[in-house]
Amino acid sequence: MASSETWTRWRYRYIPDKFVGEILSKSWIDTLIPVMILAGVVTVFSIAMPGFLAASSLSDIARIYGEYLIIIVGITVVMMAGGIDLTVGSTFALCNLVALLVINSMEVNLALGIPAVMLVGGLVGLINGVLIGYLGMRAFLTTLVMLILIRAVVDQGLLDYGQVIARGFNASATWEFMAIGDVFGVPSSLVVAVVIAIVGHIVLTRMRFGWHVSAVGGSRRSAYNAGIRVKRTICATYVLSGLLTGLAATFYAARMSSASADVGKGLEVTMLTAAVLGGISLGGGRGSITKAVIGAMIVLLVQNSLIRMGLSSGTSSLVLGLLLLAAVAVDVRWVKNRHKVLARAYVSPTYFRLPPLPETAAGSDSDYALNDKLRGVEAIGLGELDGPEDVIFDQNDNLYCGSRHGDVIRFFAPDHKRWEVFAHIGGHPLGFAFDREGNLHTCVGGMGLFRISPAGEVTKLSDETNRSLLSIVDDSRLRLADDLDIAPDGKVYFSEATVRYEMYDWMVDALEGRGNGRIICYDPKTNSSRTMLPDLQLPNGICVEKGGQSLLFAETWGCRITRWYFDGPNKGRKEIVVDNLPGYPDNINRASDGSYWCALCGMRAPVFDLALRMPDFRRRMVRKVGRDDWLYPNMNTGCVIKFDADGNILDVLWDLGGEAHPMITSIREHKGWLYLGGIYNNRVGKYRIPGADPNWTSLDDYWGERA
Amino acid sequence: MPAMKLLKAMAAAAVLTAATGAAVSEPYDDGQSKTYYETVKGKKVAFVPLSMGFDLTEGWNAGLQNQARALGYTVEVRDPNWNVEAGVQAANGFIADKPDVLILHPLDQQAYNRVVPRALAAGINVIQINMKSVTNGDAFVGADWYDLGVKQAEAVVAACGKDSGKNGKIAIVTGQAATPTIVIGNMAFDDVFGQHPEIQIVARQSADFDPAKAQAITSTILKQNPDLCGIVGVWDGQDSGTAAAIREANMQDQVFFVSSGGGSKAAACDNIENGSFDAYVSYDVPGQARDLNAALKILLQTKPEPGSNPFALYTPLKVLTKDNLTPSSCWKLEELKAMGG
């Protein structure tokens, strides 16, 4: 091995490139951009103003921040539902006026006064909500008009009551506390704001109303079709925004006692800037309270710093306006291009070297020499099936296979011509196994492990396993459960092909050459699953050996078959049975003579073997070339091999020309015949095995003959 | 030779330095002047106007900067641009920086109520200029708004009241309701008009110190009341709009319009000359700038315990009309910048 290749091998073993893409694919990555902006803002202003981070100025900002935060929680909810609330500026002014009048001048008790002020805000929100939610008016125009209308009401109110307010003063201790009080140094408004933010976060992420809001914002029509009361949800968001604006205005009134005409002017733009800067999408459906929290912080720091730097009139608005423009631009571009960036950064190739490719030429003395044994095999369900990945038989010789439409299909014995949908699961069934009681177990891609009773009832057994400590992707969820087998004690061992890709992308996993898959054990006694063997190269076929203490598993991209003892004296031992296969192994099943069948779903090619030793090359390919032009492993032709427990190759069955069975993913021996499945095929093949036991069935081999 | 030349030059430079050094080293001390200069030198003064960019604040600032330059201290300005919230933030920012004196120009009577005591508690002397929040600082420099309101009201009573033979219908185009100008001024209006039952207030609307809004409001008032006798304005910046509306309606002869303000030439004298304003109560910004500087010098020298002994320098008001106008009635910003304060 060349020294540069050694270097490559070590470099890819110890530098975890895959984490970059995995971090980028996290949903909280959207929050990282505003966090970086915030860090930038803090750095710039700390350098520009020495006293910027002094405690005294921070506590001052924190008090205003509390008010901002209360408002922006409401705005976030509105924007998450796909709306916009420009009325806040005027609502704030109105509520401030009412608060000053009711609490400051008339000295109404705060317990009555504050809810009254909030109700005024809620009422404005209700008008918006009815107009936008129920009458279907455009949010932007409606709230803009309401902004102007309410401002007129405020102006009239100021004229009528301005003088009364200017003389009023409420001396109550609570009012004083709202104005200048703090709890352990945290200003009163911020304490309330934090509580509201936490509640808001829980509601948005964990509760029905929040999910409805996200659903409505994501797609109104789908939300409606799903039975969500769209109109009511939209209306409620505006009412909420109004109520919270009212609360914030109360704090402002306590702090400033100001009935100026400019109260709340431009607040709508400030809040909008904060929300968009935080990464709350204008299109709806995307956002979080955390983002709002950060966005408000950025805007307030910028605003306050510009004031304190003494820039001339209007500069502050100018800077804020530019920020909003920039944020909107970033929002639009990011939402549009995020998945593209991610797709390129996510694929993380690593170094993998296979031994030299074994000979397969016809007439050579290789174990794998080409022949034409599968030519002209019989077909079952030709043209009626779509993707029978695996095939299995019950004790009455009925044939079961899966379909891409999410069904389990049953062909009736003896001729397997008539069929019915035995059960509908909703995902593509990949592996099958019967347990002792005759329940059919299946691994469903994208869904998990399921059990189907003889009557056709579907039960989900497992869709999660334990979360690994250091994994960045959430590997507790089952993405691609692939094949399974059942041990004598009833435990189900199943493979998950990869934790990094969804079912429709499984082939991309080959480009990485890393062990992304694992073998998981489902224990029916505890009804839970645990990962047994992690970091396997697309683990696929699983077959429990006759002794009941070990199983064979195939690693598709590793081109090898391994034995693993899960019980008995050798428990935990792993040994390679067949290494350096000429193709990519898929399902493994028992044969009547005590040996094993294995399907090779594709054959290795020297070019791809070489590419696996060149991770940089594959990385460049992924970044620079369109997806359709990527170099993938060959899946156009395959074969079936038969091997014994020591790994000797006993037989090989080819379909030259690949007309009937270009890609074989599974094989099942039943009463002297070998049945062939293919994940992209339109039939199940039926091959007469010369000299095989015509009475042998897999079911009996596992669970013994039944009466 | 070059070495010789260099030596000569160095000698000449040394002599020159010694001579000038002697000239500046010992200025005459009359017993107070030395301490006066030393005390104020290097001090920090902070100024939060309600906004820069108009005659009052620019005029005061011109005076403040002139004196600061002359005496070797600094006046830093932070401009909240008509926004009360920003003003409070700016003032609080200054308090954190601990200047020696903080000059506030509150737009709102209530909003600075918590700022002033806070500054005082932080050991900063506070001057409030022209508008005073309810709380006292160390000094107030500016107009007595009640007195000003009375003078304006009396002028309009004289023009439209009992003895004038007019119908007594007047309108008030007021400004932002929370400012001391308006709050206190309105009380004066009410008191004066209360004693004159023949005066009938047909309209009272706020233009928020915005001339465009004042123009729109006035033109509506004039349409609704074609027989209007008088209008009371509150500040020349806004009142230019009111005057424009009166001119557009061609009612300059019929409507008596009284305004008030800082008395700059463009805002006051020009408008009195061309008949836009019939009477104008001026609080004379150059005088206020001088008072402001005086208050500043007093505080910097005496360093009183903040808030312990508040004093006020109320501005003498001048009522200007076409009849008493002289070339020195008004002022120009360029002149004030050149040598004001």
Residues of chain B numbered 107-126 and touching chain A (CB < 8 Å): 107-111, 113-114
Would you say residue A442 has pLDDT above 90? Answer: yes
Would you say residue A267 has pLDDT above 70? Answer: yes
Smallest Cβ distance to B206: which of A54, A159, A165? Answer: A159
The CA distance from A400 to A436, in Å, is 17
Give the pLDDT confidence score for residue A511 in this predicted structure.
93
> Mind listing the pLDDT tens digit of every residue in chain B (341 residues)?
455 666 666 666 555 555 554 455 678 888 899 999 999 999 999 999 999 989 999 999 999 999 999 999 999 999 888 888 888 889 988 998 899 999 999 988 888 888 999 999 999 999 999 998 888 999 999 999 999 999 999 999 999 988 888 899 999 999 988 788 898 999 999 999 999 999 999 999 889 889 999 999 999 999 999 999 999 999 999 999 999 999 999 999 999 999 999 999 999 999 999 999 999 999 999 999 999 999 999 999 999 999 999 999 999 999 999 999 998 999 999 999 998 87
Amino acid letter, A497: A
- How would you class B224 by CB atoms within 10 Å of its CB: exposed for 0-12, middle for 13-18, buried for 19 or more? exposed
Helices H, strands E: what count in chain B?
A: 12, 12
Would you say residue A57 has pLDDT above 60? Answer: yes
What mean pLDDT value characterizes chain A?
Answer: 90
B72, B41 Cβ separation under 8 angstroms: yes
| A637-652 pLDDT tens trace | 889 999 999 999 999 9
Give the pLDDT confidence score for residue A162 in this predicted structure.
78
> Token pair for residue A492?
């189900």
Give the pLDDT confidence score for residue B341 in this predicted structure.
77
What residues of chain B lie within 8 A of the CB of A300, using their CB? none
Which of B52, B82, B89 best probes binding to A when mutated, by most A CB atoms within 10 angstroms? B89
| A133-155 pLDDT tens trace | 999 999 999 999 999 999 999 98
| A377-411 pLDDT tens trace | 899 999 899 999 999 999 999 999 999 999 999 99
B111, closest residue in chain A (CA to CA):
A256
The CB density around residue A645, as the number of other CB atoms within 10 Å, is 15
Give the pLDDT confidence score for residue A170 in this predicted structure.
76
Contact B79 A312 (CB under 8 A): yes
Smallest Cβ distance to A163: which of B86, B96, B177? Answer: B177
Smallest Cβ distance to A307: which of B78, B82, B109? Answer: B78
Strands A429-434 and A440-444 turn out to be antiparallel
A82, A259 Cβ separation under 8 angstroms: no
Give the pLDDT confidence score for residue B1 in this predicted structure.
47
Give the pLDDT confidence score for residue A24 in this predicted structure.
81
Give the pLDDT confidence score for residue B250 in this predicted structure.
93
Would you say residue A364 has pLDDT above 90? Answer: no
> Token pair for residue A58?
């921070």
Give the pLDDT confidence score for residue A656 in this predicted structure.
82
Residue with the two structure tokens 């690593």: A350
Contact B93 A57 (CB under 8 A): yes
Which of B54, B92, B186 best probes binding to A when mutated, by most A CB atoms within 10 angstroms? B92
Give the pLDDT confidence score for residue B28 in this predicted structure.
86
Give the pLDDT confidence score for residue A707 in this predicted structure.
38
**In terms of residues, how long is chain A?**
707
| B199-249 pLDDT tens trace | 999 999 889 889 999 999 999 999 999 999 999 999 999 999 999 999 999
What is the share, in percent, of chain A residues with pLDDT greater than 70? 99
Would you say residue A27 has pLDDT above 80? Answer: no
Q: Rg for chain A (alpha carbons), in Å?
A: 33
Give the pLDDT confidence score for residue B4 in this predicted structure.
60
B131, B105 Cβ separation under 8 angstroms: yes
> Token pair for residue A36?
């970086």
| Greater pLDDT, A694 or A704 | A694
Would you say residue A523 has pLDDT above 50? Answer: yes
A482, A494 Cβ separation under 8 angstroms: yes
Interface of A with B (CB under 8 A): 51, 54, 56-57, 60, 64, 155, 158-159, 161-163, 165-167, 179-180, 255-263, 265, 303-304, 307-314, 316-317
This model of the complex carries an ipTM of 0.74
pTM higher than 0.90, yes or no? no
Give the pLDDT confidence score for residue B227 in this predicted structure.
94
Give the pLDDT confidence score for residue B319 in this predicted structure.
94
Contact B79 A64 (CB under 8 A): no
